[in-house]
Amino acid sequence: MTNLLITGDKAPLFQSIDQHGDPVSLDQFRGGKVLLSFFRNAACAMCNLRVHQMIQRYPDWRRQGLQVIAFFESPDANLHKYVGAQQAPFSLIADPNADIYSLYGVESSESKTEATLALPNVHELADEAAAAGFPLTPEDGANFHRIPAEFLIDEEGIIRTAYYGKLITDHLPFEWVDRFAASSPEEALMKPENRSR
């Protein structure tokens, strides 16, 4: 069992390379707000739909000083082939060995995967992703049981929201991200939110 991060924890530091070959580290965003999103793999249809939705919202978030970094447990070549084709205006990071996933306590769970597949509306979600141009596509060697997690990090590098998904389809509500992006540092301290497994 990995250690869960909670509100008030210092966000673990990392260094990596994004889809453009540029270095990315959490330290470089000190003084601004950050959303870290951990996805399953670069070909995941519902992950791609979520990234598509984030791209649409990103101009507003960016105007309010929020940066986005999205991680995929995939090799760099797959990152470019699949989710990279969306030309996201924020950093996409390939973490095929799940090193940064481990830092943030992002889990793999066969039982949560099975619970997701048993949902009565799971086919509707897949259809929605396909209609947006993201058909179900298996990625060779991918961790099928990875569960998403997301973190809102304040200007001082402190986690203000730690959201661990209960299902493959369970993500941090966009309303929470909107509220965090629009908040002052003082407001961000007032209403911390946790979502543990």
Structure tokens at 6: 């909670």
| Each residue's pLDDT tens digit, 126-185 | 888 888 888 888 888 888 899 999 999 999 999 999 999 999 889 999 999 999 999 876
Domain locations along the chain: 15-195
| Each residue's pLDDT tens digit, 1-59 | 458 999 999 999 999 999 999 999 999 999 999 999 999 999 999 999 999 999 999 99
pLDDT at 124: 86
| Each residue's pLDDT tens digit, 169-189 | 899 999 999 999 998 766 655
Residues 73, 95: contact at Cβ < 8 Å? Answer: yes
What fold, for 15-195?
Glutaredoxin (3.40.30)
How far is 101 from 17, CA to CA, in rounded Å? 15
Residues 37, 70: contact at Cβ < 8 Å? Answer: yes
pTM, full prediction: 0.90
Does residue 191 have a pLDDT over 80?
no
User: What mean pLDDT value characterizes the chain?
Assistant: 91
